[in-house]
Amino acid sequence: MRVSKELKVGLFMVITIAVLYLGFNYLKGIDFFSDDNKFYVVYENVNGLNVSNPVTVNGFSVGRVSKITLDQGSTNEVIVELDINGEVVLGDSATATLNSDFLGNKSILLSTGDISQPLEPGDTIIAVVDKGITELLAESAQPVANNLESTIKKINAILDNLSGNSGKINRIMDRLEKTSVMLNATIAETKENLGKVTTTFTEVGENVNGTLSEARPVLSNMKVFTDSLKELEMKKTLEEAQLTLKKLGDAVDQFTENEGTLGKLMNDDSLYVNLNNAAKSLDELLIHLDTQPKHFFSPLGKSKKKIERDQRKAEEKAEKEAQED
């Protein structure tokens, strides 16, 4: 079967138009071969939202705006149809926020919400309209404008007070001017008095210098007198010191030559020996008193023989205990 040229041209045009249509829609974000689900959002105002604007979740594109229609009822609400990727699950608390960036580009920010109770394709998502830049600037500028207005009011009140108190200000300025004149006069008088005081100090200084010149010879004589007095006192002190050293030397000589009681005590050891024996006897007596108090404190006392016998028994007992050990 032979195909005519007209049929070939017709088929080519149909294929070309179909390719162009599919390519154009693909560039717009329409994918005819995807399994997208359609959801709907109802806004009171879309603020310039157009078909093919993106739908994102946390900055990731999951769909696009496929259709926008006006519900001409009592509220004139705008119904926006969304094509969402079939792999994205939306919960019954999902929200679609209409957002605008600094350049005015519109998009819908999707929040999936709690997916334990998912939405079915064709359900309506909760609509949220984000505040635009103009509204944000207006809200930020409102406190500044209020503060500026209150500041202007305060300045006006101050200016009003100044205008009402202009007479007082003029009187204060007059007083300041008079005060400056009086201050200049006081300064001039003070300068004059300072000149007089300086002259007086100069005269006093000259008188003091003259008095010191007259007193220098007297001071010189006083210095000579005190030097002589110091020499006399030093000579007398040295003579007394020599006499004392001589007496001390004589006393030391007497100590070393066994003369007098103190010399004998220092050079003869018999007194030391006697004192040592007495201390030893006293020590033995105290030991005996401590070990044998019956020898001293019995009603009639004990004879010397009994005491010696008791001592021998004590010594024998001590020797036996030593042998047994």
Tell which residue, 47, 41, 130, 129, has the closest CA to residue 84: 41
Q: How far is CA 24 from the centre of its chain?
A: 67
Give pLDDT tens digits for 122-136.
Answer: 899 999 887 654 455
**Tokens standing for residue 311:** 């001592």
Give pLDDT tens digits for 93-145.
Answer: 999 999 887 777 888 999 988 888 899 988 999 998 876 544 555 556 677 77
User: What own/partner pairs with CB < 8 Å and gap ≥ 24 does 304-308 have?
Assistant: none
Give pLDDT tens digits for 252-266.
Answer: 676 666 655 655 656
What's the predicted TM-score (pTM) here?
0.37
Q: C-alpha angle with apex 280: 277 to 284, nearest 5 degrees?
A: 140
Give pLDDT tens digits for 266-283.
Answer: 666 676 777 778 888 888
Q: Using an 8 Å Cβ cutoff, are 40 and 122 in contact? A: yes
Stronger pLDDT, 76 or 226, i.e. the higher one: 76
**Which residues lie across from 107 on neighbouring strands?**
99
First to last CA, the chain: 150
Average pLDDT, the chain: 78
Q: How far is the C-alpha of 139 from the C-alpha of 233, rounded, in Å?
A: 105
- In this model, does residue 41 exceed pLDDT 90? yes
- In this model, does residue 31 exceed pLDDT 60? no
Q: How far is the C-alpha of 96 from the C-alpha of 90, rounded, in Å?
A: 11
pLDDT for 133: 47
